[in-house]
Amino acid sequence: MENTERRQLSISRTLKAPIALVWEVWTNPEHIAQWWGPNGFTNTIQQMDFKEGGEWKLTMHGSDGTNYPNRSIFKEIVPHKKIVFEHFNPHFITTVVFEPNGEETHMSWTAVFDTEEMLQTVIKAHKADEGMKQNIAKLENYISQLKPSL
């Protein structure tokens, strides 16, 4: 298999929530709209057809009022185990793997870009590396707020 390390962003975290809850916040548009994206961003989800071949369209709204339309296609879905989607403009493939461990869930999140240059461009222009860290922190915070009510 090709080594993609030089053209990927990757992060993993053990979330303090069972797999059923983690899966729900990743797959339900009402939840994902609340935590997706880096700090200061809000989201409008136009479509999230969560099935293989299904389309996911959302607009991320920056704190400066700039809108960032996003379009992805779900390529592989293995319930409670894996989500793979292809993002367009810029083009990359995201793979999120979930490993349940009792009341916790280990999550590995990787985005593989077509070239190392494209990855570096996205990091320089949009701080995608820092954004991914902020995104996972927002996910952790969102889950912690949900847990008491479930």
Q: What is the pLDDT of residues 60-74, one digit of tens each?
A: 999 999 999 999 999
CA separation for the pair 39, 16 (Å, rounded): 21
H-assigned helices in the chain: 19-27, 29-35, 116-126, 128-146
Q: Between the CA atoms of 1, 96, 5 and 40, what dihedral angle is there, to the nearest 10 degrees?
A: 160
Instruction: Give pLDDT tens digits for 27-52.
Output: 999 999 999 999 999 999 999 999 99
pLDDT value of residue 2? 72
Contact 18, 104 (CB under 8 A): yes
Q: Which of 14, 9, 12, 5 is nearest to 106 (CA)?
A: 14
**82-88 and 92-101 as β-strands: parallel, antiparallel, unpaired?**
antiparallel
Q: What is the mean pLDDT of the chain?
A: 95
pLDDT tens readout for residues 80-93:
999 999 999 999 99
pLDDT at residue 115 greater than cutoff 70? yes
Position 1 scores a pLDDT of 62
Kindly report the CATH class assigned to 7-149.
alpha beta
Give dist(CA 68, CA 81) in Å, integer: 29
Q: Where are the domains of the chain?
A: 7-149
How many angstroms separate the CA atoms of 110 and 138, rounded? 17
Q: Which two tokens stand for residue 73?
A: 């296609």
β strands within 54-113, DSSP E = 55-61, 67-78, 82-88, 92-101, 104-113
